[in-house]
Amino acid sequence: MSWKSTVTDILKLEYPILQAPMLGVSTPEMAAAVSNEGGLGSLAVGGLSPEVTRQLIHKTKSLTNNPFAVNLFAHAVPPYTEEDLEPMRQLLMHLASQRGYQLDATDLSDFRFYTYHDQLDILIQEGISIVSFTFGCLDSTSIQQLKNGGCTLIGTATCVEEALYLQQHDIDMITVQGIEAGGHRGTFLDHIPLPQVGLFSLLPQVKSAVQVPCIAAGGINSAQTIKAAFELGADAVQIGTAFIGTDESLAIASYKDKLMAAKDTDTTLTRAFSGRWARGIRNELMSEIEKSGVSIPPYPLQNSMIAKLRKLAQQAGDSDYTTLWAGQSAGRTERGSAREVFLNLVKQYKTLYS
């Protein structure tokens, strides 16, 4: 079977395999390792400052001459008042002190929100040729600006209507994200109740609705799951959780251990950590926030409020008080370098299907 597809042709790849952008976990080293082997590495910069965005792009460029994608968040920041946030602030202060972490009020209020508008000029100046995004669709001016620079755009859809929306807005490729996927749902059409469609059902439906190439995401972590995605019409696959255990990942050791031990039922969807629905391994902080009954502020407010506590927990190696984003196939995560994990997948695939 040939690895060639519209995605490999357009993006100039050897293999139609993308390493998923994973903010907080993926790194320039991970993205470069995959790009260097002929896949597409992704650099996650959603919500980061322009300075950090530029640094990460420079770092990735210093590690690979091959194309890589830069991934943005296309969300709006909702209006809010300090009173809206106060109950959650109190809860997080209480949970932190119970656990022995020192947090003060400024840790939960002193935040600055960056959107893709703050990052766009940098991507254009840096000549980024592939931009992927999630949580919405870029506005038409930004789409035009990026396209004028020859950029290929990849949006994320979790249902057919979102895929059609992206196609109508001139997006070149669509990441079709099944409910199995780790991390945040890319969902963005508010009038539809949270789409929870499995990749087996979603992919063929999106494929028959749109004409643009589709990249399958969610639960893919082996030659067999890659093959299944191709059989269902995928033009490429995007793999996230399988790279969390790699040497290049920022995940702390106890997060990697939990991944490897995870059973099929250990992940769940939650809004507790960020205010947006996301899939991760259930832990104590998630359960405490959910059972508190305190209203969870919308993304990115909750995400910013919890950031310091998450950081303290990570420094302490405490996997019960940080986010453990992971997909439903988490339990089969392998350790090793990103290069090894990537090449193993390619090798297994060639052995089974060539």
Ligand X SMILES: Cc1cc2nc3c(=O)[nH]c(=O)nc-3n(C[C@H](O)[C@H](O)[C@H](O)COP(=O)(O)O)c2cc1C
The footprint of ligand X on residues 111-170 (CB under 6 A) is: 134, 156
Single out the residue of 218, 297, 298, 300 in contact with ligand X (rule: CB under 6 A): 218
Helix axes 160-168, 199-209, angle to 10 degrees: 40
State how far the Cα of 47 lies from the Cα of 301, in Å rounded to an integer. 12
What are the residues whose beta carbons fall under 8 Å from the beta carbon of 113, sequence distance 6 or more? 47, 77, 300, 304
Residue closer to ligand X (CB basis): 85 or 153: 153
Binding status of residue 322 toward ligand X by CB under 6 A:
no
**220 forms part of the interface with ligand X (CB under 6 A):** yes
Select from 71, 108, 61 the least CA-distant residue to 86. Answer: 108
Site mask for ligand X (CB under 6 A), range 54-73, x = bound: -----------------x--
Compare residues 232 and 239 and give the one whose CB is closer to ligand X.
239
Contact assessment for residue 69 and residue 154, using Cβ atoms and an 8 Å cutoff: yes
Residue 229 within binding range of ligand X, rule CB under 6 A: no
Q: How far is the CB of 97 from ligand X (least distance, A)?
A: 27
Binders in 75-94 for ligand X, by CB under 6 A = none
Closest contact distance (angstroms) between CB of 73 and ligand X is 7
Alpha-carbon Rg for the chain in angstroms: 19
Return the residue of 11, 13, 20, 154 that touches ligand X, per CB under 6 A: 20
Distance CA 155, CA 173 (A): 7
Min dist. Cβ of residue 11 to ligand X (A): 16
Tokens of 166: 């992206």
Task: Check binding of 239 to ligand X (CB under 6 A).
Answer: yes
Pick the binder of ligand X from 31, 32, 33, 44 (CB under 6 A): 44
**309, exposed or middle or buried, with CB in 10 Å at 0-12, 13-18, 19+?**
buried
Among 46, 195, 245, 300, binds ligand X (CB under 6 A): 46
Contact between 217 and ligand X per CB under 6 A? yes
CB–CB of 156/174 below 8 Å? Answer: yes
Which runs of E-coded beta strand occur in 227-350? Answer: 236-239, 267-270, 278-281
If one asks whether residue 182 binds ligand X (CB under 6 A), the answer comes out as yes
The tokens describing 67, both together, are 């194309």
**Cα dihedral 307, 313, 318, 320 sign:** negative
326 Cα distance to chain centroid: 10
Find the shortest distance in angstroms from Cβ 206 to ligand X: 14
| Contact call for residue 314 and ligand X (CB under 6 A) | no
Residue numbers of the site for ligand X (CB under 6 A)? 20-23, 25, 44, 46, 71, 134, 156, 177, 180-184, 217-220, 238-241, 244, 325-327, 329
